[in-house]
Amino acid sequence: MNCKTAEKWILKSLDGRLDEPSRRLLDEHLSVCPFCRKAEAEYRSMLALLRPDTTEAPLPRFWERLEPRLKEEQKVVPLVLWERWALHVLPVFAALVALAAGLFIFTPQALELSQSETLLIENTNPFTETRSLFEEKRPEARSMMLIFASLEDKPSARRQLP
């Protein structure tokens, strides 16, 4: 056994993790190697010095001091949770609004149809309404009817009522 392996086994042995056959081999090595004997003594002493004599206790009234801090945190937590929740929800909400706006903008609007187009779609004769105009015998009345008919087609030309 070389001294490097012996050192590993010394520490395993001090941890109580060395099996019996290895322990015997280590003992044999220690009996002939003064350096490893010294190392074992030093490790033993070092580990003993590291271990505390007693478990250290915190300052008095540990729980009594902790409890108000927990209660204080409890008040803050719902706010923090809301903030976290909002942080996740807000981008989704913004995306939905953007999507809705996009749909609204890019959806093709229904075309405004002219009167004659409407009549054609409704499969109605566009000349039915003008028949009375041609049948009117009096020229003054016909002129008035024409004027009113033209005004119906151009609503912007009418004077706006207050």
Q: Which residues bind other proteins (CB under 8 A)?
A: 3-4, 6-8, 11, 17, 35-36, 38-39, 41-43, 45-47, 49-52, 55-59, 62-63, 65-67, 69-70, 73, 77
- Cα–Cα distances (Å) from 120 to 85, 103, 150, 154, in that order, read 57, 31, 19, 20
Report the nearest approach of other proteins to the CB of residue 17 (Å): 8
Nearer to other proteins, 4 or 158 (CB): 4
* 136 CB-contact burial (10 Å; exposed 0-12 / middle 13-18 / buried 19+): middle
Q: Which residues contact 126 (CB under 8 A, 6 or more apart)?
A: 115, 116, 119, 120
Nearer to other proteins, 50 or 121 (CB): 50
**What is the per-residue burial (b if ≥16 Cβ within 10 Å, else e) of 19-34?**
eeebeeebeebbeebe
Nearer to other proteins, 28 or 67 (CB): 67
Helix axes 34-50, 20-32, angle to 10 degrees: 120
Report the nearest approach of other proteins to the CB of residue 82 (Å): 15
Nearer to other proteins, 28 or 42 (CB): 42
Taking the CB of residue 36, how many other CB atoms lie within 10 A of it? 22
Residue 118 amino acid letter: T
Report the nearest approach of other proteins to the CB of residue 78 (Å): 12
Nearer to other proteins, 22 or 43 (CB): 43
Report the nearest approach of other proteins to the CB of residue 62 (Å): 5
Report the nearest approach of other proteins to the CB of residue 106 (Å): 44
